[in-house]
Amino acid sequence: MKTLRDNSLTIVLVALSLLTIGGMLLTGWSVYDHELADHALIGLAAYAKSGHFLSSLFENWESEFLQMSAYVMLTAFLFQRGSSESKDPDEAADQDEDPALKQDDAEAPWPVRLGGFAQAVYSYSLGIALGFLFVLTFILHLRYSAEAKNAEAMMHGQPTVSIAEHLVSAQFWFESLQNWQSEFLSTAVIVVLSIFLRFRGSPESKTVAAPHGETGA
């Protein structure tokens, strides 16, 4: 039970992710079969590998990883006084000690103990990992979006496009930017609302009695 308690947030979020992906797969299949009413219908397994489904899936993942990578990197050097999502601009220099000071700490992560290049990379590894996931899902979205576009074009006897041509198309950037703008907006909303509003017990919120000007959770 202790393992479940200690990892309950990840377990619930992964379970919700799988449930919603399953719901997206089933409803997307229904929508796609309706669109194919005058053509050959496809099975669920075939739909799961189709550009129609995978393009939408990676399109959403792409925007989420963009949001998280941008948030991690921007909050390293930008501030919002009073927000639980920001470091205190008056104490920023004291909030992240030099990892080299912990190089001899047996409990420190191994890159910190190793020092040098490994320590330098590890110091920014969260942003690097999220940035890599954004680039990867961007490429996958591009690939399967082009595949979906070409599948539709072939059904209507229209010419297909290459991935490079699709990359500079208005359709592809409309798909991306409609999600990117919502991610940046939602992040800005939580940054500002956390100045004035609270949720007791959440590490993303200041304590209920904290003054509005207090910065950081």
Phi, psi of 29, deg, nearest 5: -60, -45
**Local confidence band at 40 (pLDDT 50, 70, 90 cut-offs):** low
Distance set, CA 166 to CA 2, 89, 139, 140 (Å): 50, 43, 12, 13
pLDDT of 156: 78
Is residue 163 very low, low, confident or very high in pLDDT (cuts 50, 70, 90)? Answer: very high
- Window from 3-17, 109-123, 147-161 with minimum mean pLDDT: 147-161
Q: Give residue 137's pLDDT.
A: 98
Q: Which residue has the tokens 């075939």?
A: 46
Question: For all residues of the chain together, what is the average pLDDT?
Answer: 92
The pLDDT of residue 39 is 63
Task: Write down the pLDDT at residue 207.
Answer: 93
| Residue 2: per-residue pLDDT | 87
State pLDDT tens for residues 51-102.
999 999 999 999 999 999 999 999 998 999 999 999 888 886 666 788 988 8
**CA 61 vs CA 74, 112, 132, 141, 168: distances in Å:** 20, 31, 12, 9, 20
Please compute the mean of the pLDDT values over residues 108-117 and round it to a whole number. 94
- Dihedral (Cα; 208, 64, 170, 33), 10-degree rounding: -110
Please report the pLDDT score of residue 205 as a whole number: 94
CB 55, CB 144: distance < 8 Å: yes
Residue 152 — very low, low, confident or very high, per pLDDT cuts 50/70/90?
confident
Q: Which residues contact 73 (CB under 8 A, 6 or more apart)?
A: 127, 131
| Residue 111 confidence (pLDDT) | 95
Q: Is 174 left (phi over 0), alpha (psi -120 to 50) or beta?
A: alpha
